[in-house]
Amino acid sequence: MNHDIAEDTLLSPAPGTLASSTASSPPAGGLALDVPSMVTPRRAKPRAAHGAQTVRVAIVHDWLVTYAGAERVLEQIIACFPDADLFALVDFLDDRSFIRGKPVKTTFIQKLPKAKTKYRSYLPLMPLAIEQFDLSAYDVVISSSHAVAKGVLTGPDQVHVSYVHSPIRYAWDLQHQYLTESKLTRGPKSALARVILHYIRNWDVRTSNSVDSFVSNSAFIARRIRKVYQRDANVINPPVDVEAFALQEQKEDFYLTASRMVPYKKIDLIVEAFAKMPGRRLVVIGDGPEMEKIRAKAAPNVEIMGYQPFAVLRDRMRRAKAFVFAAEEDFGISVVEAQACGTPVIAYGKGGALETVRDLSDSRPTGIFFGEQTVDALIAAVDNFAAQPGRFVAADCRANAERFSAALFRERFFAHVCAMVPALQGATLPPYDPPHQGAAVNPGSSLRVLAVDQSGVLGGAELSLLEIVKALRARMDVVLFDDGPFRVALDLADVPVTVLDAGATRDMRKQGSAPPLGRALKSVGSLVRATAARARNNDVIYANTQRAMVIGVLAGKLARKPVVWHLRDIVSAEHFGRRQLQVIKWCARFGLAHVIANSGASARAFTELTKFDDARVDVVFNGISSAPFDALRDTPQSALRARLNLPGDAFLVGSFSRLARWKGQHLLLEAAVLNPRMHAVLVGSALFGEDAYEAELRSFVAQHGLTERVHFLGFQHDIAACMGAMDVVAHTSITPEPFGRVIVEAMLARRPVVAARAGGVTEIVRHGENGMLCEPGDAHALADTLAELNANRTLRDQLVVRGYQTATETFGTAAYVEGVERILKRVGTGGAGKALEAKAVRSAG
């Protein structure tokens, strides 16, 4: 990210300071400052996040002079807290759209001589300046810091969250590199620069103590924060506008690098390497102090374009066969932007690139690393890349880039701040209002979607679909094949819904049972015709369940509409009968345009079964709202237990699922036999012809004398209240679970989770950190783990804190809805999906 104070020189000359890459010593005693000119916040006006009108928020940024990496983060922080007041050392912005035209409170540095162009040279004064902000009127202070912003003064009743792009890199581990590059390795100027940097380091460490919570832009920077400040940091990757970069599969015969031409970017190394590879063409975009040095190294095969507008940069990124990146960067936004275009990356294997690029060790690589910042190492990497072009798929690059979307950043950062501020817990993320005026209208904004679901009950698939249709209700129609609580929930959400008569298809089961063929075909035909009639007024069919997918594929052919299946199952013999698996394979070949999988486990099982083009499979984790769980946070557990007629002083372990053998409720009962100190609570009913299993569970309870310690609660509407009444939530599936919605809900309810180590569960739970894992089907291991949690309150509390953090930051609703909507737009409007569809048809055939 372009935020280094010493990109041009360590300390550049300005009147009143040391000239020629030096700076004056720290101000002593008698320095006169125009302190009354400091602007203080208006105490009378409250500042708040949406839904928390009494919380006043201040945002502090280092300096506002351009729109680069750090400012992209600031833009999204402001979107999270649009009513916050903004502070910076200086403000010389021309384009103020990304800060939404906010007034900025600045420091005395703003008025110093030539501050607009030489603000960096006032580094020795910056610690003093940042400490002059009076932020006492605010409840929450958010600093966006790569230099001194985190050093603002806060009180004991204020919460200070600091998003650190990097500790002051030129003062810490990169000091010697910067002194060398600035030619300050010896002499009086070198001595003075070292004294100043020593002073900055001491101040930097001291002020870290005033930060309540650190957030870093990468695990690399989190390690740097741990090294420098001895503090842990939560990693929230910076936002990348991936939607501004369209996927392009056809690449041209040239390589691209683009960056500001400063020493640590190593553009000269890239140019020198390609000068020794005359058969390979390199395009260089960017400008900066090293331009002449780089031009001198360029050979005829290297085109130096200099500064170019964004449209030109984006065009070259889309067309390039690879993007070359040689810096040790904190994160590296350009690396993600290139992948958003479908362009693989050849990168130096250190720093943030290790977190944003998947190398050849991955089954779906998006780039290659080289281990040293040398010409020979880079040449070897380019040769390696060129030798295996088939390993890199444009759609894989795009999918990897989408992990770093701006929407996901907003959701994670907002959740993190809310978790730190009691008064904000329960607040909702404000709707995103793009700050840039005059932008083109999104071509997918008028997209019409027909959602199809087979069920009328409120299962996990239906609850997840409900989040989508509530968000897109203005552009979505819903068709159900059965009536029930799900239809009621849709009506309450004011979503248009039609219930069709499922007929004989209602008796079809995953494991292969089916009605007579004639009756089944008649019912299927009726559903297909009715669904196709409604699809003609929509752009895309969005099937939420397996039976709905089959009807949707046939209706899609009839209505000539693409079909997207939201896959919420692991399609294997453990979950589906042989006939159902054959139908899924046929549908994948015959008429599916795209698949959204709820976990990596679901996606892998589907592609292994169908050989479906994985470029048309995206993983979007289910999103679950924290609101109903947060609303009960202050409700005593005893009150919740009394409401449910549960014992007040027992150790309660809850199971939340429909009663089905593969869900493994019998394991929890076996664990109760082994652990006489626990009570088991079964929340859920037998929904799909599984009444015999429920009878088997009740018989087991009677035979083992568990009547007083096992509680059958049946179907419950208020899952948040039921979970709040538990001490532990157990997830006991004996076959791999495609996702595990219950696990995330338990984390939101702030209850520790014990889950089976299989399927999508392992993408949610990290053993011993945010939950506990047991081997599927092992009742003894389950009983032992529950006994450990019963005895160890400290462990339970640790799991609760980490679990809630995981649930809010990774499985929130905003990123989930945006991910699904983006795919529906892409498929429904043709766009990028056309080429992928053609490719898929070829591979399927």
Alpha-carbon dihedral angle through residues 463, 466, 471, 477, given to the nearest 10 degrees: 160
Fold topology of 449-623+830-844: Rossmann fold (3.40.50)
Q: Fold match between 35-235 and 449-623+830-844?
A: yes
> Is the sign of the CA dihedral 244, 394, 317, 323 positive or negative?
positive
Q: What is the pTM of this model?
A: 0.48
- How many other C-beta atoms are found inside a 10 Å radius of the C-beta of residue 539? 20
Please tell me the predicted confidence (pLDDT) of residue 541. 96
CATH number among 2.40.30.20, 3.40.50.2000, 3.40.50.180, 3.40.50.1220, domain 242-404: 3.40.50.2000
DSSP annotation of 357 reads -
Q: What CA–CA distance (Å, rounded) separates 163 from 52?
A: 22
DSSP annotation of 471 reads H
- Residues 150-169 as b/e (b if ≥16 CB within 10 A, e otherwise) read bbbbbeeebbbbbbbbbbbb
- How many other C-beta atoms are found inside a 10 Å radius of the C-beta of residue 767? 12
DSSP string, 683-745: E----SS-HHHHHHHHHHHHHTT-TTTEEEEES-S-HHHHHHT-SEEEE--SS--S--HHHHH
Q: Helix, strand or coil for residue 560?
A: coil
CATH for 627-811?
3.40.50.2000
* Strands, E assignment, 514-576: 540-543, 563-567
Fold topology of 35-235: Rossmann fold (3.40.50)
Residue 303, strand partner residues: 283
Coarse DSSP helix, strand, coil percentages of the chain, rounded to the nearest 5 percent:
45, 15, 40
Please tell me the predicted confidence (pLDDT) of residue 828. 85
Q: What CA–CA distance (Å, rounded) separates 362 from 554?
A: 36
Kindly list the distances between the CA atom of residue 76 and the CA atoms of 80, 234, 238, 408, in Å, as whole numbers in the listed order.
6, 17, 9, 10
Tell me if 643 sits within 8 A of 724, measured CB to CB. no
Low-confidence ranges of the chain (pLDDT < 70): 1-53, 181, 435-446, 504-518, 688, 830-845
Q: Which amino acid is at 815?
A: A
Q: Where are the domains of the chain?
A: 35-235, 242-404, 449-623+830-844, 627-811
Q: What CA–CA distance (Å, rounded) separates 783 from 676?
A: 10
DSSP string, 201-257: HHHHHHHHTT-SEEEESSHHHHHHHHHHHS--EEE-PPPB-GGGS-------S-EEE
Tokens 């400040």 -> residue: 229
Please tell me the predicted confidence (pLDDT) of residue 573. 85
Q: What CA–CA distance (Å, rounded) separates 209 from 511?
A: 59
CA distance between the termini of the chain: 45
Tell me if 127 sits within 8 A of 148, measured CB to CB. yes
Please tell me the predicted confidence (pLDDT) of residue 32. 31
